Amino acid sequence: MRIDFFNEFLNTPLFGILLSLIAFQIGTLLYKKTRLSILNPLLVASVLVIVFLLYFGIDFEIYNLGGDYISFFLGPATVVLAVPLYRKIRLLKSNALPILVGIIAGCIAGISSIIALSSLLGLDEVISRSLAPKSVTTPIGIEISKQIGGLPAITVAAIVFTGIAGAVLGPYICRCFRIKDKVAVGIAIGTASHALGTTRAIELGETEGAMSGLAIGIAGLITVFLVPLLLYVFGLIS
């Protein structure tokens, strides 16, 4: 009776949703306790979910019945980042040109570095296309990947990894290079590591969070045009 109930529960979206929420809550508590960047809640939650599924031999497709519901809200959730940006609208207007140039430069560097490393490591063209839109938010990255012949699953994994890396390493890299300007820090983190990096930028300060949130949208629009263009220039698409 209990086994039948458990099997029925596994095959409902509720299982994936509950597992994700519990894992993320554990990650959040660990981060609040330790304040260690490496214990990013999303990173901890991802590891916990993977270990749980592997230990109990549960297929990813079963988990993803609920995971798809969570993914659906990624787009609307990103819109919330416009709130701190609105509060800093005057700062945006006074630094419009440097901000735009910085985001464009960041997008070109991010895409070009992936293409160069893929060529250096001899990766398959499909993998290179899948990795190219790694620095944009997930909904945009998935659509870009589909349009250029990439694999959306690999793109999502690259986006998540990039976001976690940016959230963990972004502030340290800024300190190492003595980047103290709050606008520059926010733009750098948002352009390189989208929404996940922005959650860390918000912790650094309201200005950093606002600029990082701005960078997500602009970088996404620029990347839509730059990825196909740069891939064509480097001969990875025809």
CA distance 40 to 132: 24
182 pLDDT band (50/70/90 cuts)? very high
Q: To 10 degrees, the CA torsion angle through 74, 76, 80, 85?
A: 100
Q: What is the pLDDT of residue 181?
A: 92
Q: What is the pLDDT of residue 117?
A: 92
Name residue 132's amino acid: A
- Burial degree of 186 (CB within 10 A; 0-12, 13-18, 19+): buried
Domain locations in the chain as residue ranges: 2-72, 79-233
CA distance 189 to 216: 9
Within 10 angstroms of residue 45's Cβ, the number of other Cβ atoms is 21
Give the rounded distance of the alpha carbon of 91 from its chain centre. 25
Q: What is the pLDDT of residue 6?
A: 63
Tell me if 200 sits within 8 A of 166, measured CB to CB.
Answer: yes
81 pLDDT band (50/70/90 cuts)? low
Name residue 222's amino acid: I
What digits encode the pLDDT tens for the residues 35-58?
887 788 888 898 999 999 999 888
Place of tokens 């700062």: 91
Q: Strand (E) positions, 66-167? A: none
Phi/psi at 171 (5° precision): -60, -35
Higher per-residue confidence, 194 vs 5: 194
Phi/psi at 134 (5° precision): -70, -20
- Tell me the two tokens of residue 11: 């095959």
CA distance 219 to 33: 33
Predicted TM-score (pTM) above 0.75? yes
